[in-house]
Structure 1
Amino acid sequence: MSAEVAKNARELLLKEYRGVLSTHSKSMPGFPFGSVVPYCLDEQGRPLILISRIAQHTHNLQKDPKCSMLVGEREADDVQAVGRLTYLAHAQKLAEPAAIEAAAERYYRYFPDSQNYHQAHDFDFWVLDPVRHRYIGGFGAIHWIDDLTLANPFAGKAEISMVEHMNSDHAKAIAHYVELAGLPNSVPAQLAGIDSEGMHLRIGQAVYWLPFAAPCNTPTQVREALVSLAHAQSWAKKAQS
């Protein structure tokens, strides 16, 4: 299994922001229980979810943390011809105050409305610790992947600083990214997150991930990539690994 396959699977996880979480049913033993959950990735590159304590999937995870999340390419005409990923995991509820604070700060940027019901109701953050992955990149492109996560080198203060700066001072550049990528422009986009391989834009309730032409490992490299894209006439193709 090549590094390119793992990268393609990880990019699918980055491009999407909702999946089908399958848990072991507590009330119907032996049956899988599926539910739709929005997610973003935490500082280690793991899916981060915010779920209600009274939800059925939460009760299921409290009894058996083994689960999976299915992620597929959105708006596909032929779902069997496009990428999909089954992410097998152990779910873990965040308990340390510092971890909860970091999770909330990032999750709220992706899903601002979640701040209201998280504070008003009994919701908790959980992360999906990876066990193994089944990635299908199209007909015949089927792979088991043991490791695809990639830690975010900017998670925390560096990312917050870059995101706030871009949203406050460079709305025109963000609008240009939207135009280059052919994304909806009915409402202004906001930068939601930055990782070494790309950036997330939030447009209304939807989230979109746009790749950099080459990986960025320092804030300076991110700045150079963003400036370059702000002046680009077309979206640069990614460098092949």
Structure 2
Amino acid sequence: MPPEDQALATGSEARRFVRAYHNGSLCTLSKKLEGYPFASVSPFVLDDRGNPLILISNLAEHTKNIDADSRVSLLVQPCSPDMQAAGRVTLTGRATRLPDKNAFADRYLRYLPQARDYFAAHDFYFYRIAVEYIRYIGGFGKIHWVRPEHYAPPPSDALVAAEAGIIAHMNADHRDNLRDYCRHQYALDVFEVEMVGMDYDGFDLRADGTLLRFDLPDPVTNAQEARKALVSLAQQCRESVDKNAQ
């Protein structure tokens, strides 16, 4: 594989890894403690370019630190009995407060509904971490620095505009398909299920209270491609059921 294609593949792998999680360890530069690193826990949701969006209070220590020095890093990794053996990604960049508090509210709250009370408070604001450096550790011997242009997906404004409609349609008319997706990919029989997000790389469902990530083999950039991908996955689910029934 040519080096540029390999770099894009590694960047895509790192981005898909991050999409599976919504909590990270946020490290800021302390204002109170003379520039010492200061770590805290922060839920996040990615925007369409792979940049983390965090909702934080201006009373919090990390917010005071960001307002004094915007350089931050966010470590994303699963909880594991052996944390060093698990994959992880560190996203480093500059965090900036968004002027419109409502711009990402709907998407953020679909993923993190427990934040609704925080969002209603007047002292909470969205900050976007504009990713500048990515450190991806996918396992033993799989360690990479990833350039931001290899990590970020291409712009997909049409999909961003269509996302809410796709979600509403799937939740209103195709709950059985959503359950089939869970059964097919995770071997889970679920009762309560809803789609919460659709993006360039795949989609997310909340199934019986747990967020599940579904990567798609081909990128999705608009409503038509999303529909094609979801129909194809539903067909795979039916074929898998028919095969197992034989």
Same fold by TM (over 0.5)? Answer: yes
Most deviating of 31-40 and 174-183: 174-183
Q: 1:49 to 1:218 in 2, by over 3 A?
A: same
Partner of 2:202: 198
What CA distance in whole angstroms lies between the structure 2 residues aligned with 1:30 and 1:157?
41
- Provide the secondary structure at the position in 1 that maps to 2:80: coil
Partner of 2:47: 42
Is the contact between residue 159 and residue 220 of structure 2 (CA under 8 Å) also seen in structure 1? Answer: no
What CA distance in whole angstroms lies between the structure 2 residues aligned with 1:44 and 1:52?
24
Q: Following TM superposition, by how much is the alpha carbon of 1:234 offset from its aligned partner in structure 2, in angstroms?
A: 8.4
Of 7, 10, 18, 2:12 maps to 7
What CA distance in whole angstroms lies between the structure 1 residues aligned with 2:131 and 2:91?
7
Q: 1:159 to 1:229 in 2, by over 3 A?
A: same
Any gaps of 5 or more consecutive residues in structure 1? 237-241
Partner of 2:243: none
Partner of 2:129: 128
Question: Deviations along 1:108-151, whole A, 9 cap, x unmatched?
Answer: 11112322321134210010001111111111211111211224
What CA distance in whole angstroms lies between the structure 2 residues aligned with 1:27 and 1:187?
49
What CA distance in whole angstroms lies between the structure 1 residues aligned with 2:133 and 2:239?
33
Work out whether 1:112 is the aligned partner of 2:151: no
CA RMSD of aligned residues (A): 2.2
- Provide the secondary structure at the position in 1 that maps to 2:192: coil
Of 218, 223, 243, 1:219 maps to 223
Q: Following TM superposition, by how much is the alpha carbon of 1:152 offset from its aligned partner in structure 2, in angstroms?
A: 4.1
Question: Deviations along 1:47-99, whole A, 9 cap, x unmatched?
Answer: 11111111111111111110000011x2434332332111111000001x3xx
Give the counterpart letter for 1:136 in structure 2. I
Give the counterpart letter for 2:96 in structure 1. Q
Q: 1:183 to 1:104 in 2, by over 3 A?
A: farther
- Give aligned-pair identity as a percent: 35
Question: Deviations along 1:21-61, whole A, 9 cap, x unmatched?
Answer: 00011221232111111111113221111111111111111
Q: 1:224 to 1:155 in 2, by over 3 A?
A: closer
Task: Summarize the alignment of residues 16-35 of structure 1 with structure 2, pairs less than 5 Å apart.
Answer: 16-35=21-40
TM-score by length of 2: 0.86
Work out whether 1:166 is the aligned partner of 2:197: no
Is the contact between residue 20 and residue 35 of structure 1 (CA under 8 Å) also seen in structure 2? Answer: yes
TM-score by length of 1: 0.88
Give the counterpart letter for 1:226 in structure 2. L
Partner of 1:67: 72
Partner of 2:85: 81
Q: Following TM superposition, by how much is the alpha carbon of 1:153 offset from its aligned partner in structure 2, in angstroms?
A: 4.0
Work out whether 1:149 is the aligned partner of 2:149: no
What CA distance in whole angstroms lies between the structure 2 residues aligned with 1:186 and 1:11?
24
What CA distance in whole angstroms lies between the structure 2 residues aligned with 1:154 and 1:49?
24
What CA distance in whole angstroms lies between the structure 2 residues aligned with 1:12 and 1:50?
21
Give the counterpart letter for 1:52 in structure 2. S
Any gaps of 5 or more consecutive residues in structure 2? 1-5, 241-246
Partner of 1:233: 237
Question: Deviations along 1:130-185, whole A, 9 cap, x unmatched?
Answer: 11111111112111112112244445430010011111111111111111121665
Most deviating of 36-45 and 152-161: 152-161
Partner of 1:239: none
Question: Deviations along 1:204-226, whole A, 9 cap, x unmatched?
Answer: 55422211122223311211211
Most deviating of 24-33 and 127-136: 24-33
Is the contact between residue 89 and residue 137 of structure 2 (CA under 8 Å) also seen in structure 1? Answer: yes
Q: 1:116 to 1:144 in 2, by over 3 A?
A: same
What CA distance in whole angstroms lies between the structure 2 residues aligned with 1:81 and 1:28?
32
